[in-house]
Amino acid sequence: MSAELENSIISVLYIEDDVRLSALTTTYLRSHGLTINPVSSGESALESLNDHVPDVVLLDLMLPGKNGHELCKIIRKKHDIPIIMVTALDEEAERVLGLEEGADDYVVKPFSSRELLARIRAQVRRARGKLQRKSVQLNIGPLTLDETTYRVTLHDEEIVMTSYEFSLLRTLMSSPGRVFSREQLIMHTRDHGDEIFERAIDVQISRLRQKLGDDPKKPFWIKTVRGVGYMIVAKA
């Protein structure tokens, strides 16, 4: 962890209706210097977001009223902040659905408080761009990725991306024409505290293609190499 991130204050919107779990988790995270705003419903969360946008959202799936899936989609339409889903179901289909709806990461109940803290810090580190890497601008024709400003543009139009989508696209654009296996993409985009599975890569690639305007049946930018993995075109 960089000293700059360690010494900065991380704000978290924590959406959880289990009073005991919320209190215990809030106490632990606050003891490590995080600012926590715990709420118990989707409606309260949306009101809070109108007043203040946190560094990260910790979102339980099973909520009264608007559930976590609905809430994730609403938040993602308005904000690009990291969203970590909390689920009691350790099933791949549930995790994939959460990622498709815009979540950046997930934890399964019962979770380790230390692991949760690590995941929060990892997502904030990505979002703030504090990974201490050399500033580079990557270009493939009209597609540009700027590591300094964390911006992606296509034909001079900015494309809004989550931190994980940005990291995945950066990996592909770093070696145009090279085929990356799912395992390699996991390794290149992994950060401390993250646990990404292979099916999640397919979900993220699908979201990237959608944002780049790719036809899913005949994608122009990101190609699938059957039985191997994915590559981005070398020339536009």
CATH of the domain at 142: 1.10.10.10
pLDDT at site 4: 47
Higher pLDDT, 129 or 29: 29
- Alpha-carbon gap, residue 131 to 152, rounded angstroms: 18
Tell me: pLDDT of 130 over 70: no
120 and 143 fall within a common domain = no
187-220 pLDDT per residue, tens: 777 653 344 556 788 888 999 999 999 998 899 9
86 and 154 fall within a common domain = no
Tell me the average pLDDT across 45-71. Answer: 90
Number of folded domains that form the chain:
2
Tell me: pLDDT of 53 over 80: yes
Tell me the average pLDDT across 219-226. Answer: 93
- What does the DSSP assignment read for the chain? --HHHHHSPPEEEEE---HHHHHHHHHHHHHTT-EEEEESSHHHHHHHHHH---SEEEEESS-SSS-HHHHHHHHHHH--S-EEEEES---HHHHHHHHHTT-SEEEESS--HHHHHHHHHHHHHHHHT-S-----EEEETTEEEETTTTEEEETTEEE---HHHHHHHHHHHHSTTPPEEHHHHHHHH--TT----HHHHHHHHHHHHHHHT--SSS-SSEEEETTTEEEE-S--
Closest by CA to 27, choosing from 44, 14, 17, is 14
199 and 141 fall within a common domain = yes
150 and 215 fall within a common domain = yes
Tell me: pLDDT of 111 over 50: yes
184 and 150 fall within a common domain = yes
Whether a cis peptide bond, with omega within 30° of 0, leads into 110 is yes
105 and 180 fall within a common domain = no
Listed residues 128, 151, 177: the one ending a domain: 128
156 and 114 fall within a common domain = no
Tell me: pLDDT of 109 over 60: yes
114 and 11 fall within a common domain = yes
Closest by CA to 60, choosing from 95, 38, 86, is 86
Tell me the average pLDDT across 120-126. Answer: 88
pLDDT at site 169: 94
pLDDT at site 101: 80
Single-letter code of the amino acid located at 123: Q
pLDDT at site 190: 61
Listed residues 128, 149, 176: the one ending a domain: 128
Q: Give phi and psi for 137, each to the nearest 5.
A: -110, 125
Higher pLDDT, 124 or 126: 124
pLDDT band at 135 (very low <50, low <70, confident <90, very high): low
Tell me the average pLDDT across 112-119. Answer: 92
Structural domain that includes position 22: 3-128
pLDDT at site 97: 75
SS3 of 132-145: the string is CCCCCEEEECCEEE
pLDDT at site 200: 80
Tell me: pLDDT of 39 over 90: yes
142 and 123 fall within a common domain = no
Tell me: pLDDT of 7 over 50: no
142 and 104 fall within a common domain = no
Q: pTM to 2 decimals?
A: 0.58
Task: Answer for the pair 157, 193: CB distance below 8 angstroms, yes or no.
Answer: no
Tell me: pLDDT of 84 over 60: yes
Tell me: pLDDT of 54 over 70: yes
116 and 159 fall within a common domain = no
% of the chain surpassing 70 pLDDT: 87
pLDDT at site 183: 85
What CATH number does the domain containing 65 carry? 3.40.50.2300
